[in-house]
């Protein structure tokens, strides 16, 4: 675990300044994409032949640390590292080690990540040493052939090994599955049984119209209201107030003892309680996943070492946070609601 310097300790003694958006919502959760690159090519996320950003456009690990620290100083309590696949970024554990000082000081309540699981066997122990206590693993099927079809480049056995390593290291695991009609809609129950049988939570996610992909999202879209109704016909689902800081609404499944979360940006958006903003690997801050308005934080970050400069830029951006998104699956057009890929924004 990182050692707190005297300057860090002094920062921790100062009360954080809450970030309040124009609709009275406190922004306490920052998702940070550290790379747009990934070792998978999931069909609902990106094209198989992606053009990735030049490395020179990416923030350095030191710059990512400075920006994350600025948000922590302004009231962020939960920090999630995402990608692309975050664990493919060179020397990424240096960033986790640096950010862990905010856990030690008490300024940050949670440091976590979302991963495809491919690199977990390699990094699980070190993540735990840095104060990470749980991880989200994206997995949409337990069938090897179908897993290869969905991810194009993925290896299910490698992911399973990664989850086992993470659990051995003491990390709690939540599985994230995108519900896709005609792809894995017949496996939702199996995914739930697998997750709960291993002590994992399961969160189901509706596909979102982000980025041009090689398929037609209207063919993939599956309302989670239908999924929940199907599960409720065979299991006892009890609504519970459990929260992880994100938008999922959870139920307890009486028969398995486990939890299932539903993230429904299409059928029942969660904008009224949104506490999140998203930072890309180039320093662009998106105040809403479903809107194109964004703020460039790279320029003020590189223009001055004065924390007040980047702090003012963050305040201006939070002041533009919209009330909600405008996601729609348009059956008259294959064009996405938002042109950027999920891998750019970081989920």
How far apart, in whole angstroms, are the C-alpha atoms of residue 148 and residue 325?
Answer: 32
Place of tokens 């809107």: 291
- Compute and round to an integer the Cα radius of gyration of the chain: 20
Q: C-alpha 315: how far from its chain's center? A: 23
In order along its 347 residues, the chain shows pLDDT tens digits of 544 443 444 444 445 568 999 999 999 999 999 999 998 888 877 777 778 888 889 999 999 999 999 999 999 999 999 999 999 999 999 999 999 999 999 999 999 999 999 999 999 999 999 999 999 999 999 999 999 998 999 999 999 999 999 999 999 999 999 998 998 999 999 999 999 999 999 999 998 654 444 555 567 789 999 999 999 999 999 999 999 888 899 999 999 999 999 998 765 556 777 899 999 999 999 999 778 889 999 999 999 999 999 999 999 999 999 887 654 544 444 444 445 445 556 55
Structure tokens at 313: 């830029």
The domain ranges of the chain are 6-175+274-345
How far apart, in whole angstroms, are the C-alpha atoms of residue 333 and residue 335?
Answer: 5
Residue 311 DSSP SS3: helix
Burial class (CB in 10 A: 0-12, 13-18, 19+), 143: middle
Cβ neighbours around 49 below 10 Å, total? 7
Q: C-alpha 184: how far from its chain's center? A: 21
0.75 cut: is pTM over it?
yes
How far apart, in whole angstroms, are the C-alpha atoms of residue 278 and residue 27?
Answer: 11
Give the burial string for 80-90 (b: 16+ CB within 10 Å, else e).
Answer: bbbbbbbbbbe
In this structure, whether the domain defined by 6-175+274-345 belongs to CATH 3.20.20.70 is answered with yes
């Amino acid at each position: 675990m990182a050692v707190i310097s005297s300057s860090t300790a002094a920062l921790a003694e100062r009360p954080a300044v809450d970030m309040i958006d124009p609709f009275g919502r406190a922004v306490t959760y920052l998702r940070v994409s550290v790379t747009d690159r990934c070792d998978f090519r999931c069909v609902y996320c990106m094209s198989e032949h992606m053009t990735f950003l030049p490395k020179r456009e990416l923030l350095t690990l030191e710059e990512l640390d400075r920006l994350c620290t600025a948000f922590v100083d302004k009231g962020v309590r939960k920090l999630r590292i995402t990608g692309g696949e975050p664990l493919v970024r060179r020397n990424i554990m240096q960033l986790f080690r640096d950010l862990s000082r905010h856990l030690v000081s008490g300024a940050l309540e949670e440091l976590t990540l979302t991963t495809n699981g491919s690199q977990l066997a390699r990094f699980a122990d070190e993540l735990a040493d840095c104060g990470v206590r749980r991880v989200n693993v994206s997995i949409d099927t337990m069938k090897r052939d179908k897993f290869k079809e969905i991810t194009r480049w993925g290896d299910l056995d490698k992911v399973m090994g990664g989850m086992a390593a993470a659990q051995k290291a003491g990390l709690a695991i939540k599985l994230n599955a995108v519900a896709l009609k005609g792809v894995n809609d017949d496996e939702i129950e199996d995914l739930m049984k697998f997750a709960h049988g291993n002590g994992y939570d399961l969160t189901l996610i509706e596909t979102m119209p982000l980025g041009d992909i090689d398929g037609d999202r209207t063919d993939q879209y599956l309302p989670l209201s239908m999924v929940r109704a199907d599960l409720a016909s065979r299991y006892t689902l009890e609504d519970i107030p459990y929260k992880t800081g994100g938008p999922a609404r959870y139920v307890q499944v009486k028969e398995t003892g486990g939890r299932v979360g539903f993230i429904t940006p299409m059928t029942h958006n969660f904008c009224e309680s949104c506490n999140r903003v998203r930072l890309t690997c180039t320093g662009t801050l998106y105040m809403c996943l479903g809107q194109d308005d964004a703020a460039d934080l790279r320029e003020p970050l590189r223009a001055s070492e004065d924390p007040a400069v980047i702090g003012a830029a963050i305040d201006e951006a939070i002041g533009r946070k919209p009330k909600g998104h405008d996601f729609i699956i348009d059956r008259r057009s294959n064009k996405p609601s938002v042109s950027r890929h999920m891998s750019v924004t970081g989920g």
